[in-house]
Amino acid sequence: MLFLVSVMLALFALSVPIAFALGIAALPFFLERNLPLIAIPQVIFDSMDSFVLLAVPLYVLAGRIMMRGGVARRLVDFAVALVGFLKGGLAAATVLTSMLFATISGSSAATAAAIGSTLIPEMERKKYPRPFAAAVVAASGELGVIIPPSVPMVIYAVITGVSITDLFIAGIIPGVMIGLSLILTIILVSTLRNYGDREPFVVGPYLVNLAKATSRATLSLLLPFIILGGIYGGIFTPTEAAVVAVVYALVLGCFIHRELPLRDLPKIFAESAFTSSVVMIIVGFAFVFAYALALMQAPQQIAAGIRAVSDDPMVFLLLVNLFLFVVGMFMETFAAIIILAPVLAPVAVQLGIDPVHFGLIMIVNLAIGMVTPPVGVNLFVACGIAKISMEQLMRPLLVFLAVLAANMLAITYVPWLSLALIR
Protein backbone atom coordinates (compact mmCIF):
# COMPACT_ATOMS: atom_id res chain seq x y z
CA MET A 1 0.00 0.00 0.00
CA LEU A 2 2.75 2.45 0.93
CA PHE A 3 4.52 1.72 -2.34
CA LEU A 4 1.42 2.55 -4.41
CA VAL A 5 0.80 5.77 -2.49
CA SER A 6 4.49 6.75 -2.80
CA VAL A 7 4.41 6.20 -6.56
CA MET A 8 1.23 8.28 -6.84
CA LEU A 9 2.70 11.18 -4.82
CA ALA A 10 5.95 11.04 -6.81
CA LEU A 11 3.99 11.26 -10.07
CA PHE A 12 1.99 14.19 -8.69
CA ALA A 13 5.30 15.92 -7.83
CA LEU A 14 6.48 15.34 -11.41
CA SER A 15 3.32 17.09 -12.69
CA VAL A 16 1.95 13.94 -14.33
CA PRO A 17 -1.78 14.50 -15.02
CA ILE A 18 -3.84 13.30 -12.07
CA ALA A 19 -5.77 10.61 -13.95
CA PHE A 20 -2.63 9.08 -15.44
CA ALA A 21 -0.78 9.28 -12.12
CA LEU A 22 -3.56 7.28 -10.46
CA GLY A 23 -3.61 4.67 -13.21
CA ILE A 24 0.19 4.27 -13.36
CA ALA A 25 0.44 4.02 -9.56
CA ALA A 26 -2.04 1.13 -9.55
CA LEU A 27 -0.29 -0.74 -12.40
CA PRO A 28 2.41 -2.45 -10.24
CA PHE A 29 -0.34 -4.03 -8.15
CA PHE A 30 -1.96 -5.64 -11.19
CA LEU A 31 1.41 -6.90 -12.44
CA GLU A 32 2.42 -8.26 -9.04
CA ARG A 33 -0.86 -10.16 -8.61
CA ASN A 34 -0.75 -11.40 -12.25
CA LEU A 35 -4.14 -9.86 -12.83
CA PRO A 36 -5.09 -9.41 -16.51
CA LEU A 37 -4.59 -5.81 -17.59
CA ILE A 38 -8.00 -5.93 -19.27
CA ALA A 39 -9.31 -5.53 -15.72
CA ILE A 40 -8.24 -1.87 -15.74
CA PRO A 41 -10.58 -0.69 -18.55
CA GLN A 42 -13.29 -2.95 -17.12
CA VAL A 43 -13.03 -1.23 -13.72
CA ILE A 44 -13.08 2.18 -15.41
CA PHE A 45 -16.14 1.29 -17.49
CA ASP A 46 -18.01 -0.27 -14.56
CA SER A 47 -17.29 2.73 -12.36
CA MET A 48 -18.68 5.21 -14.88
CA ASP A 49 -21.63 3.05 -15.98
CA SER A 50 -23.81 4.78 -13.42
CA PHE A 51 -27.10 6.63 -13.77
CA VAL A 52 -26.23 8.77 -10.76
CA LEU A 53 -22.95 9.97 -12.30
CA LEU A 54 -24.90 11.35 -15.27
CA ALA A 55 -25.62 14.28 -12.95
CA VAL A 56 -21.98 15.39 -13.21
CA PRO A 57 -21.88 16.44 -16.91
CA LEU A 58 -25.44 17.74 -16.68
CA TYR A 59 -24.69 20.10 -13.77
CA VAL A 60 -21.53 21.23 -15.60
CA LEU A 61 -23.63 22.01 -18.69
CA ALA A 62 -26.33 23.77 -16.67
CA GLY A 63 -23.72 25.97 -14.97
CA ARG A 64 -22.18 27.03 -18.30
CA ILE A 65 -25.56 27.83 -19.83
CA MET A 66 -26.47 29.96 -16.83
CA MET A 67 -23.17 31.84 -16.97
CA ARG A 68 -23.71 32.69 -20.62
CA GLY A 69 -27.48 33.18 -20.40
CA GLY A 70 -27.55 36.14 -18.03
CA VAL A 71 -28.43 34.26 -14.84
CA ALA A 72 -25.17 35.09 -13.07
CA ARG A 73 -25.46 38.79 -13.92
CA ARG A 74 -28.99 38.98 -12.52
CA LEU A 75 -27.98 37.21 -9.31
CA VAL A 76 -25.11 39.68 -8.92
CA ASP A 77 -27.45 42.65 -9.37
CA PHE A 78 -29.90 41.21 -6.84
CA ALA A 79 -27.19 40.61 -4.23
CA VAL A 80 -25.70 44.07 -4.70
CA ALA A 81 -29.13 45.69 -4.37
CA LEU A 82 -29.78 43.71 -1.19
CA VAL A 83 -26.56 44.30 0.79
CA GLY A 84 -24.57 46.80 -1.25
CA PHE A 85 -25.29 49.67 1.15
CA LEU A 86 -23.23 48.05 3.93
CA LYS A 87 -19.59 48.83 4.57
CA GLY A 88 -17.88 46.18 2.48
CA GLY A 89 -21.26 45.65 0.81
CA LEU A 90 -19.96 44.81 -2.65
CA ALA A 91 -17.63 42.17 -1.24
CA ALA A 92 -20.49 40.86 0.92
CA ALA A 93 -22.64 40.74 -2.21
CA THR A 94 -19.95 38.57 -3.80
CA VAL A 95 -20.43 35.95 -1.08
CA LEU A 96 -24.22 36.20 -1.28
CA THR A 97 -24.08 35.77 -5.06
CA SER A 98 -21.83 32.74 -4.64
CA MET A 99 -24.38 31.24 -2.24
CA LEU A 100 -27.16 31.77 -4.78
CA PHE A 101 -25.12 30.52 -7.73
CA ALA A 102 -24.02 27.49 -5.72
CA THR A 103 -27.64 26.30 -5.65
CA ILE A 104 -27.39 26.02 -9.42
CA SER A 105 -23.86 25.17 -10.51
CA GLY A 106 -22.68 22.36 -8.19
CA SER A 107 -19.07 23.34 -8.82
CA SER A 108 -16.61 25.43 -6.83
CA ALA A 109 -14.46 26.54 -9.78
CA ALA A 110 -17.52 27.41 -11.88
CA THR A 111 -18.92 29.53 -9.05
CA ALA A 112 -15.61 31.36 -8.57
CA ALA A 113 -15.23 31.95 -12.31
CA ALA A 114 -18.80 33.12 -12.90
CA ILE A 115 -18.85 35.51 -9.95
CA GLY A 116 -15.21 36.62 -10.07
CA SER A 117 -15.23 37.66 -13.71
CA THR A 118 -17.97 40.16 -12.93
CA LEU A 119 -17.24 41.30 -9.39
CA ILE A 120 -13.43 41.42 -9.09
CA PRO A 121 -13.18 44.31 -11.62
CA GLU A 122 -16.21 45.95 -10.00
CA MET A 123 -14.68 45.70 -6.51
CA GLU A 124 -11.45 47.22 -7.80
CA ARG A 125 -13.42 50.16 -9.20
CA LYS A 126 -15.03 50.59 -5.78
CA LYS A 127 -11.56 50.89 -4.17
CA TYR A 128 -11.16 47.40 -2.75
CA PRO A 129 -7.56 46.16 -2.93
CA ARG A 130 -7.27 43.69 -5.78
CA PRO A 131 -5.76 40.90 -3.62
CA PHE A 132 -8.62 41.27 -1.11
CA ALA A 133 -11.21 41.09 -3.91
CA ALA A 134 -9.58 37.94 -5.27
CA ALA A 135 -9.44 36.39 -1.79
CA VAL A 136 -13.18 37.01 -1.31
CA VAL A 137 -13.98 35.27 -4.61
CA ALA A 138 -11.68 32.33 -3.87
CA ALA A 139 -13.06 31.79 -0.35
CA SER A 140 -16.72 32.15 -1.29
CA GLY A 141 -16.31 29.94 -4.36
CA GLU A 142 -16.00 26.87 -2.13
CA LEU A 143 -19.69 27.24 -1.34
CA GLY A 144 -20.32 25.85 -4.83
CA VAL A 145 -19.68 22.31 -3.55
CA ILE A 146 -21.20 22.69 -0.07
CA ILE A 147 -24.58 24.24 -0.83
CA PRO A 148 -26.54 21.69 -2.91
CA PRO A 149 -26.57 20.55 -5.60
CA SER A 150 -22.92 19.50 -5.46
CA VAL A 151 -20.93 17.38 -7.90
CA PRO A 152 -18.51 16.09 -5.19
CA MET A 153 -21.53 15.09 -3.08
CA VAL A 154 -22.84 13.05 -6.01
CA ILE A 155 -19.51 11.23 -6.32
CA TYR A 156 -19.27 10.65 -2.56
CA ALA A 157 -22.78 9.21 -2.52
CA VAL A 158 -21.95 6.85 -5.40
CA ILE A 159 -18.81 5.63 -3.60
CA THR A 160 -20.29 5.09 -0.14
CA GLY A 161 -23.95 4.34 -0.84
CA VAL A 162 -25.15 7.31 1.20
CA SER A 163 -28.41 8.91 0.03
CA ILE A 164 -27.67 11.81 -2.33
CA THR A 165 -30.84 13.56 -1.19
CA ASP A 166 -29.81 13.31 2.47
CA LEU A 167 -26.32 14.59 1.64
CA PHE A 168 -27.78 17.52 -0.29
CA ILE A 169 -30.08 18.42 2.61
CA ALA A 170 -27.17 18.13 5.06
CA GLY A 171 -25.26 20.82 3.16
CA ILE A 172 -27.89 23.54 3.51
CA ILE A 173 -27.35 24.77 7.09
CA PRO A 174 -23.51 24.45 7.01
CA GLY A 175 -23.40 26.23 3.64
CA VAL A 176 -25.54 29.11 4.86
CA MET A 177 -23.53 29.29 8.09
CA ILE A 178 -20.23 29.50 6.20
CA GLY A 179 -21.63 32.13 3.85
CA LEU A 180 -22.93 34.33 6.67
CA SER A 181 -19.68 34.03 8.62
CA LEU A 182 -17.73 35.14 5.53
CA ILE A 183 -20.07 38.11 5.09
CA LEU A 184 -19.63 39.17 8.73
CA THR A 185 -15.85 38.83 8.37
CA ILE A 186 -15.88 41.00 5.25
CA ILE A 187 -17.93 43.71 6.95
CA LEU A 188 -15.58 43.71 9.95
CA VAL A 189 -12.38 43.80 7.87
CA SER A 190 -13.78 46.45 5.50
CA THR A 191 -14.80 48.62 8.43
CA LEU A 192 -11.43 48.32 10.20
CA ARG A 193 -9.39 48.91 7.03
CA ASN A 194 -11.82 51.27 5.28
CA TYR A 195 -12.19 49.11 2.16
CA GLY A 196 -14.61 50.07 -0.57
CA ASP A 197 -16.75 53.06 -1.44
CA ARG A 198 -20.17 53.07 0.15
CA GLU A 199 -23.38 54.57 -1.17
CA PRO A 200 -25.51 56.47 1.39
CA PHE A 201 -28.52 54.45 2.54
CA VAL A 202 -31.86 56.07 1.71
CA VAL A 203 -34.94 53.93 2.23
CA GLY A 204 -36.89 55.03 -0.84
CA PRO A 205 -34.19 54.54 -3.52
CA TYR A 206 -33.01 51.36 -1.76
CA LEU A 207 -36.45 49.75 -1.96
CA VAL A 208 -36.91 50.85 -5.58
CA ASN A 209 -33.54 49.38 -6.63
CA LEU A 210 -34.19 46.18 -4.69
CA ALA A 211 -37.61 45.79 -6.29
CA LYS A 212 -36.14 46.26 -9.79
CA ALA A 213 -33.31 43.80 -9.15
CA THR A 214 -35.69 41.26 -7.65
CA SER A 215 -38.03 41.56 -10.61
CA ARG A 216 -35.16 40.95 -13.07
CA ALA A 217 -33.82 38.02 -11.05
CA THR A 218 -37.11 36.34 -10.15
CA LEU A 219 -36.90 33.58 -12.76
CA SER A 220 -33.25 32.95 -11.91
CA LEU A 221 -34.06 32.76 -8.19
CA LEU A 222 -36.84 30.26 -8.88
CA LEU A 223 -34.41 27.68 -10.28
CA PRO A 224 -32.94 26.58 -6.91
CA PHE A 225 -36.45 26.09 -5.55
CA ILE A 226 -37.41 24.02 -8.59
CA ILE A 227 -34.27 21.85 -8.40
CA LEU A 228 -34.06 21.37 -4.64
CA GLY A 229 -37.81 21.35 -4.07
CA GLY A 230 -38.22 18.67 -6.73
CA ILE A 231 -35.51 16.51 -5.17
CA TYR A 232 -36.69 16.88 -1.59
CA GLY A 233 -40.33 16.50 -2.59
CA GLY A 234 -39.60 13.21 -4.31
CA ILE A 235 -40.73 14.53 -7.71
CA PHE A 236 -37.44 13.64 -9.39
CA THR A 237 -34.02 12.22 -8.58
CA PRO A 238 -30.85 14.36 -8.37
CA THR A 239 -29.90 13.18 -11.87
CA GLU A 240 -33.33 14.07 -13.26
CA ALA A 241 -33.06 17.41 -11.43
CA ALA A 242 -29.89 18.11 -13.42
CA VAL A 243 -31.84 17.54 -16.65
CA VAL A 244 -34.52 19.94 -15.43
CA ALA A 245 -31.82 22.51 -14.64
CA VAL A 246 -30.38 22.25 -18.17
CA VAL A 247 -33.78 22.62 -19.85
CA TYR A 248 -34.82 25.51 -17.59
CA ALA A 249 -31.50 27.29 -18.16
CA LEU A 250 -31.83 26.86 -21.94
CA VAL A 251 -35.35 28.29 -21.97
CA LEU A 252 -34.31 31.15 -19.70
CA GLY A 253 -31.15 32.08 -21.60
CA CYS A 254 -32.37 31.57 -25.17
CA PHE A 255 -36.03 32.57 -25.12
CA ILE A 256 -36.76 34.70 -22.05
CA HIS A 257 -33.58 36.67 -21.31
CA ARG A 258 -32.50 36.27 -24.94
CA GLU A 259 -28.86 36.70 -23.99
CA LEU A 260 -27.79 33.29 -25.29
CA PRO A 261 -27.91 33.00 -29.11
CA LEU A 262 -28.70 29.54 -30.41
CA ARG A 263 -25.53 29.66 -32.52
CA ASP A 264 -23.47 29.67 -29.28
CA LEU A 265 -24.94 26.39 -28.02
CA PRO A 266 -22.58 24.04 -29.95
CA LYS A 267 -19.58 25.79 -28.39
CA ILE A 268 -21.12 25.57 -24.89
CA PHE A 269 -21.89 21.89 -25.41
CA ALA A 270 -18.31 21.26 -26.56
CA GLU A 271 -16.80 23.16 -23.60
CA SER A 272 -19.04 21.29 -21.15
CA ALA A 273 -18.18 17.95 -22.74
CA PHE A 274 -14.46 18.71 -22.45
CA THR A 275 -14.75 19.73 -18.78
CA SER A 276 -16.90 16.71 -17.97
CA SER A 277 -14.53 14.34 -19.76
CA VAL A 278 -11.61 15.59 -17.66
CA VAL A 279 -13.61 15.00 -14.47
CA MET A 280 -14.85 11.57 -15.54
CA ILE A 281 -11.38 10.37 -16.61
CA ILE A 282 -10.09 11.29 -13.14
CA VAL A 283 -13.07 9.46 -11.61
CA GLY A 284 -12.42 6.35 -13.71
CA PHE A 285 -8.72 6.05 -12.90
CA ALA A 286 -9.32 6.94 -9.26
CA PHE A 287 -11.66 3.93 -9.12
CA VAL A 288 -8.81 1.77 -10.47
CA PHE A 289 -6.51 3.00 -7.69
CA ALA A 290 -9.24 2.49 -5.09
CA TYR A 291 -9.87 -1.01 -6.47
CA ALA A 292 -6.21 -1.88 -5.94
CA LEU A 293 -6.28 -0.52 -2.40
CA ALA A 294 -9.44 -2.49 -1.64
CA LEU A 295 -7.89 -5.78 -2.81
CA MET A 296 -4.85 -5.03 -0.65
CA GLN A 297 -7.25 -4.55 2.29
CA ALA A 298 -5.96 -1.02 2.81
CA PRO A 299 -9.23 0.13 4.45
CA GLN A 300 -8.93 -2.57 7.08
CA GLN A 301 -5.25 -1.78 7.72
CA ILE A 302 -5.90 1.95 8.05
CA ALA A 303 -8.93 1.32 10.25
CA ALA A 304 -6.83 -0.88 12.53
CA GLY A 305 -4.12 1.78 12.70
CA ILE A 306 -6.59 4.49 13.61
CA ARG A 307 -8.31 2.31 16.20
CA ALA A 308 -4.90 1.57 17.70
CA VAL A 309 -4.37 5.30 18.29
CA SER A 310 -7.81 5.92 19.80
CA ASP A 311 -11.35 4.60 19.80
CA ASP A 312 -12.70 8.02 20.73
CA PRO A 313 -14.85 9.44 17.87
CA MET A 314 -13.77 12.99 18.78
CA VAL A 315 -10.09 12.11 18.41
CA PHE A 316 -10.82 10.25 15.17
CA LEU A 317 -12.60 13.28 13.71
CA LEU A 318 -9.74 15.57 14.72
CA LEU A 319 -7.23 13.27 13.01
CA VAL A 320 -9.46 13.07 9.92
CA ASN A 321 -9.73 16.86 9.75
CA LEU A 322 -5.98 17.31 9.94
CA PHE A 323 -5.39 14.53 7.41
CA LEU A 324 -7.97 15.82 4.91
CA PHE A 325 -6.69 19.38 5.25
CA VAL A 326 -3.23 18.20 4.14
CA VAL A 327 -4.68 15.95 1.43
CA GLY A 328 -6.81 18.80 0.10
CA MET A 329 -3.71 20.94 -0.36
CA PHE A 330 -2.13 18.44 -2.76
CA MET A 331 -4.80 16.16 -4.24
CA GLU A 332 -7.66 16.85 -6.64
CA THR A 333 -11.05 16.66 -4.90
CA PHE A 334 -12.66 13.89 -6.95
CA ALA A 335 -9.61 11.65 -6.67
CA ALA A 336 -9.41 12.25 -2.92
CA ILE A 337 -13.07 11.32 -2.44
CA ILE A 338 -12.85 8.12 -4.49
CA ILE A 339 -9.63 6.95 -2.84
CA LEU A 340 -10.30 7.98 0.77
CA ALA A 341 -14.07 7.69 1.24
CA PRO A 342 -14.09 3.85 1.08
CA VAL A 343 -11.24 3.85 3.61
CA LEU A 344 -12.47 6.40 6.15
CA ALA A 345 -16.27 6.14 5.98
CA PRO A 346 -16.48 2.54 7.31
CA VAL A 347 -14.25 3.46 10.27
CA ALA A 348 -16.49 6.44 11.04
CA VAL A 349 -19.58 4.22 11.01
CA GLN A 350 -17.85 1.70 13.31
CA LEU A 351 -17.22 4.53 15.78
CA GLY A 352 -20.89 5.53 15.74
CA ILE A 353 -20.56 8.60 13.49
CA ASP A 354 -23.54 9.22 11.21
CA PRO A 355 -22.50 8.45 7.60
CA VAL A 356 -24.24 11.57 6.23
CA HIS A 357 -22.55 13.76 8.85
CA PHE A 358 -19.17 12.22 8.03
CA GLY A 359 -19.78 12.71 4.31
CA LEU A 360 -20.37 16.40 4.85
CA ILE A 361 -17.24 16.66 7.01
CA MET A 362 -15.23 15.16 4.16
CA ILE A 363 -16.81 17.40 1.49
CA VAL A 364 -16.28 20.61 3.49
CA ASN A 365 -12.69 19.66 4.31
CA LEU A 366 -11.85 19.05 0.66
CA ALA A 367 -13.71 22.24 -0.30
CA ILE A 368 -11.30 24.15 1.94
CA GLY A 369 -8.53 22.42 0.01
CA MET A 370 -9.76 24.27 -3.09
CA VAL A 371 -8.73 27.50 -1.34
CA THR A 372 -5.30 26.40 -0.08
CA PRO A 373 -2.01 26.38 -1.98
CA PRO A 374 -0.26 24.87 -3.82
CA VAL A 375 -3.03 23.32 -5.97
CA GLY A 376 -6.19 25.09 -4.78
CA VAL A 377 -8.24 25.46 -7.96
CA ASN A 378 -10.13 28.53 -6.69
CA LEU A 379 -6.84 30.34 -6.11
CA PHE A 380 -5.81 29.87 -9.72
CA VAL A 381 -9.20 31.04 -10.95
CA ALA A 382 -9.18 34.15 -8.73
CA CYS A 383 -5.54 34.99 -9.48
CA GLY A 384 -6.14 34.57 -13.21
CA ILE A 385 -9.12 36.94 -13.18
CA ALA A 386 -7.44 39.50 -10.90
CA LYS A 387 -4.06 39.18 -12.67
CA ILE A 388 -2.12 38.85 -9.42
CA SER A 389 0.34 36.29 -8.09
CA MET A 390 -0.47 33.63 -5.51
CA GLU A 391 1.85 35.37 -3.04
CA GLN A 392 -0.17 38.60 -3.26
CA LEU A 393 -3.37 36.69 -2.60
CA MET A 394 -2.22 34.79 0.48
CA ARG A 395 -2.10 37.60 3.05
CA PRO A 396 -5.77 38.70 2.74
CA LEU A 397 -6.79 35.05 2.30
CA LEU A 398 -5.45 33.97 5.71
CA VAL A 399 -8.31 35.56 7.65
CA PHE A 400 -10.84 33.75 5.47
CA LEU A 401 -9.00 30.44 5.94
CA ALA A 402 -9.23 30.97 9.70
CA VAL A 403 -12.99 31.54 9.41
CA LEU A 404 -13.38 28.44 7.25
CA ALA A 405 -11.37 26.38 9.77
CA ALA A 406 -13.62 27.58 12.61
CA ASN A 407 -16.68 26.60 10.61
CA MET A 408 -15.12 23.22 9.92
CA LEU A 409 -14.71 22.56 13.62
CA ALA A 410 -18.31 23.59 14.31
CA ILE A 411 -19.62 21.28 11.56
CA THR A 412 -17.44 18.44 12.84
CA TYR A 413 -18.40 18.60 16.52
CA VAL A 414 -22.00 19.80 16.24
CA PRO A 415 -23.71 17.08 14.17
CA TRP A 416 -27.04 18.90 14.49
CA LEU A 417 -25.86 21.43 11.90
CA SER A 418 -25.73 18.67 9.27
CA LEU A 419 -28.56 16.44 10.42
CA ALA A 420 -31.26 18.83 11.70
CA LEU A 421 -33.15 19.01 8.39
CA ILE A 422 -32.92 15.25 7.80
CA ARG A 423 -34.14 13.89 11.11
Cβ-proximal residues to 266 (8 Å cutoff; 6+ apart), any chain: none
Surface-to-core class of residue 90, CB atoms within 10 Å of its CB (0-12 exposed, 13-18 middle, 19+ buried): buried
Give me the residues of the chain with pLDDT under 50, please. none
> Rounded distance, CA 272 to CA 58, Å?
9
Q: What 3-state DSSP class applies to 113? A: helix
Whole-number pLDDT of residue 1 = 66
- Give, as one character, the DSSP assignment of residue 143: G
For residue 173, the enclosing domain spans 2-419
- Judge contact between 154 and 52, C-beta under 8 A: yes
Q: For residue 273, report the phi and psi dihedrals to the nearest 5 degrees.
A: -65, -40
Q: Do 389 and 383 meet the contact criterion of CB atoms below 8 Å apart? A: yes
Q: What is the pLDDT of residue 364?
A: 94
- Determine how many CB atoms are found less than 10 A away from the CB of residue 241: 27
Side chain identity, residue 421: L
CB atoms within 10 A of CB 398: 11
Q: Dump the DSSP string for 378-409.
A: HHHHHHHHHT--HHHHHHHHHHHHHHHHHHHH
pTM of the model: 0.86
Q: Which residues contact 403 (CB under 8 A, 6 or more apart)?
A: 139, 181, 182, 185
Quick one: pLDDT at residue 110? Answer: 73
Q: What is the pLDDT of residue 393?
A: 86
Residue type, 102: A
Peptide bond into 149 cis (omega under 30): yes
13 Cα distance to chain centroid: 24
What pLDDT, on a 0 to 100 scale, did the predictor assign at position 307?
72
pLDDT of the residue at 423? 62
Integer Cα distance of 146 and 367 in angstroms? 8
DSSP H helices in 126-171? 130-141, 151-160, 164-170
**DSSP structural state of residue 254:** I
The reply to whether omega before 374 is within 30° of 0 (cis) is yes
According to the model, what pLDDT value does residue 343 have?
A: 83
C-alpha closest to that of 92 among 223, 195, 192, 173: 195
Closest CA to 354 of 302, 300, 412: 412
- Report helix angle 2-13 to 18-32, nearest 10: 150
Domain count, the chain: 1
At 406 the pLDDT is 95
